[in-house]
Amino acid sequence: MSISIISGSVTSPKGFLGAGVFCDVKRMGTGKGSNKGRKLDLGVIYSKAPCAAAGMFTTNQICAAPVKVCVDHLKIGKARALVVNSGNANACTGSKGREDAESMCRQTAKCLGIKTSEVFVASTGRIGLPLPMPNVRQGVEAACGQLTTESLGGDQLAEAIMTSDTHPKQYALEFNLGGKKVTIGGVAKGAGMIQPGMSPTGNRPYSMPLHATMLSFITTDAAISKPTLQRCLTEAVASTFNRITVDGDMSTNDTVLILANGLAGNQTIRHTAKDAISKASLALFQQALNLVCFALAKMLVKDGEGVSRFVTVRVAGAKTNQQADAAVRSVANSSLVKTSWLGGDPNWGRIIDALGYSDATVEENKVDIGYSAAGSSKILYSLKAGKPTRITFERLCRAVADPEFDLHVNLNLGKGKAVMYASDLTEEYVEFNKGDVTDPASLGG
């Protein structure tokens, strides 16, 4: 039952092909686009066999056209392919935007000889500009013409979806299911507008506002039923992508899609099966999918715009899990807390302040605050029951000097707990996002 991490990507599972091309989505050729250099900007993933598909989508009420098309196509049936562009989010583009997203699917289906409803679509980049469809059409044709099962295909796809990311993000692993080797591979992009809150339908399951464009596409050759795949993806995203924040802004385009083509030949995984072997298979697949999503989610935070610190914030002892979530998001999104992380400052005053204005019930004389090395349970407390401990300032400074550490809060009021994977707030973030108004096409969502 062991899982092995492999060097790979979305083309690692059997039967998946990938490609990425440059088609000038930002229209640099016209002199109207940004001058960030010739980076691949359109990609296609294709499966040789029909796939079960599942997705998680932004719960932002302002929801981009490609997200709406994905939600519709998910309802219809099997999936075979995905087309994605960077440089333009196709968000807030009205009925024209919707037609363009559908046209991307139609064009891709035509090139691949499959049905339009079997194609998923995603976009990331500037909000509010119509897609340059002649460029996109040329890109789709070129990408479909160079699809390959080689790692080059996955590498190109990973580059094509990047916006302000400084490097491509890929991850893959394999494991054994009843004698059959199953592989899961994934890519992701993030950088800014990162605090996803995604649901399977794009509708809100939350009673509180959540706040990236983040995109992630995952492929697997596992045989798994569609409803089981959606359950597994929902669970994996809830504990990974939906627990990250860079700047607290939730994007109009956040999308996670998984395609499972069954070519591994394992016995189909179904959550409804009650025998021990089926349950063990489901548990192993879930564990593997969680690992892929967590690895990619962590890469998103670490490569967030200007980010220098990766902090795992854990709140325990809240009255309810929902209160723990409110508390942990308040801390993880506080500008003052995030700047103190940048400065390597073990400031508990800003942390307890952020807890105090959250929606969680907090009693000053019960709050514990401490630090540990990443993943360690050996906590160095700066505050115990609301009182500063005798740990020296120098030792606390050393605890937050690492680029990666865990912050532990215990409200000591109940059993509610929650975690967020957060970044610091840096001058580079501000510098990057204040934009360059001499270059209109560089601005956007």
- Alpha-carbon distances, residue 248 vs 112, 213, 312, 360 (angstroms): 39, 11, 15, 18
Neighbouring CB atoms inside 10 A of 327's CB total 30
**54 - beta bridge partners?**
258
Stretch that binds a second copy, among 22-30, 172-180, 371-379, 424-432 (CB under 8 A): 424-432
| Token pair belonging to 19 | 């490609």
Q: Write phi, then psi, for 17 (nearest 5 degrees).
A: -115, 150
Q: At its nearest, how many Å lie between a second copy and the CB of residue 430?
A: 5
315 binds a second copy (CB under 8 A): no
276 binds a second copy (CB under 8 A): no
Q: At its nearest, how many Å lie between a second copy and the CB of residue 434?
A: 3
Which value, in Å, is the radius of gyration of the alpha carbons in the chain? 22
Stretch that binds a second copy, among 15-23, 284-292, 294-302, 362-370 (CB under 8 A): 362-370
| Residue number with CB closer to a second copy (145 or 209) | 209
| Token pair belonging to 69 | 């098309």
| Residue number with CB closer to a second copy (138 or 361) | 361
434 binds a second copy (CB under 8 A): yes
The residue type at 288: A
The residue type at 394: E
Active-site residue, 213 included: yes
- Alpha-carbon distances, residue 102 vs 105, 258, 312 (angstroms): 5, 19, 39
Catalytic pick among 183, 213, 219, 228: 213
Q: At its nearest, how many Å lie between a second copy and the CB of residue 34?
A: 14
Residue closest to 314 by CA, chosen among 417, 163, 200: 417
Q: At its nearest, how many Å lie between a second copy and the CB of residue 440?
A: 5
230 binds a second copy (CB under 8 A): no
20 binds a second copy (CB under 8 A): no
280 binds a second copy (CB under 8 A): no
Per-residue x/- marks for a second copy, 35-64, CB under 8 A?
A: ------------------------xxxxx-
344 binds a second copy (CB under 8 A): yes
Instruction: Answer yes or no: are the C-beta atoms of 164 and 432 closer than 8 Å.
Output: yes
Q: In this chain, which of 107, 230, 312, 330 binds a second copy, going by CB under 8 A?
A: 330
357 binds a second copy (CB under 8 A): yes
Instruction: Answer yes or no: are the C-beta atoms of 430 and 247 closer than 8 Å.
Output: no
Stretch that binds a second copy, among 156-164, 315-323, 412-420, 432-440 (CB under 8 A): 432-440
| Residue number with CB closer to a second copy (223 or 316) | 316
In eight-state DSSP terms, residue 168 is -
Q: Which residues of 94-131 are buried (b: 16+ CB within 10 A; e: fewer)?
A: eeebbebbbbbbbbbbebbebbbbbbbbbbbbbbebeb
Tell me how far apart the alpha carbons of residues 336 and 351 are, in angstroms, rounded to a whole number: 9
Tell me how far apart the alpha carbons of residues 216 and 186 are, in angstroms, rounded to a whole number: 7
Instruction: Answer yes or no: are the C-beta atoms of 163 and 300 closer than 8 Å.
Output: no
416 binds a second copy (CB under 8 A): no
Per-residue x/- marks for a second copy, 150-169, CB under 8 A?
A: --------------------
105 binds a second copy (CB under 8 A): no
| Token pair belonging to 392 | 């020296």
Q: In this chain, which of 31, 365, 375, 377 binds a second copy, going by CB under 8 A?
A: 365
| Residue number with CB closer to a second copy (141 or 359) | 359
Q: At its nearest, how many Å lie between a second copy and the CB of residue 324?
A: 14
Q: Where are the beta strands (DSSP E) in 127-248?
A: 169-177, 180-189, 198-199, 215-220, 244-245
| Residue number with CB closer to a second copy (191 or 299) | 191
Instruction: Answer yes or no: are the C-beta atoms of 89 and 445 closer than 8 Å.
Output: yes
386 binds a second copy (CB under 8 A): yes
Q: At its nearest, how many Å lie between a second copy and the CB of residue 43?
A: 23
193 binds a second copy (CB under 8 A): yes
205 binds a second copy (CB under 8 A): no
Instruction: Answer yes or no: are the C-beta atoms of 15 and 47 closer than 8 Å.
Output: yes
Q: In this chain, which of 167, 387, 395, 415 binds a second copy, going by CB under 8 A?
A: 387
363 binds a second copy (CB under 8 A): yes
71 binds a second copy (CB under 8 A): no
The stretches of 258-358 forming alpha helices (DSSP H) are 276-302, 321-332, 335-342, 348-356
Per-residue x/- marks for a second copy, 208-227, CB under 8 A?
A: xxxx----------------
Is 144 in a helix, a strand, or coil?
helix
Tell me how far apart the alpha carbons of residues 96 and 92 are, in angstroms, rounded to a whole number: 10
Residues catalogued as catalytic: 213
